[in-house]
Amino acid sequence: VGHPMTVLAFAAAVTKRIGLGTGVELLNVRHPVELAQQAATLNALSGERLTLGLSQGGRQAGHQTAGIV
């Protein structure tokens, strides 16, 4: 399975009413601004069907990996 936003974008393209959502996106391994831009775009293109689960994660080292200092 691919990246969650890519898979959800495909699901949005081939459906009209189904809700779209992530489990939990960890902010310490994804840059929060990039994630917010992707989520906003997907939500707009899907007719506001996205539910986004977020967590700050648990370790500071993950922030450095994602380029968040």
Give me the mean pLDDT over the 41-67 stretch.
83
Region 34-62: what's the mean pLDDT? 88
Q: What is the mean pLDDT of residues 32-38?
A: 91
Mean pLDDT of all residues in 24-39: 87
What's the mean pLDDT when you consider all of the chain? 86
| Residue 69: per-residue pLDDT | 62
pLDDT-based confidence at residue 55 (cuts at 50, 70, 90): confident
Q: Which residues of 43-69 are buried (b: 16+ CB within 10 A; e: fewer)?
A: beebeebbebeeeebeeeebbeebebe
Q: What's the CA gap between 55 and 48, in Å, rounded?
A: 21
Provide the total of helices (H) and of strands (E) in the chain, helices listed first: 3, 4
Burial of 11 (0-12, 13-18, 19+ CB in 10 A): middle
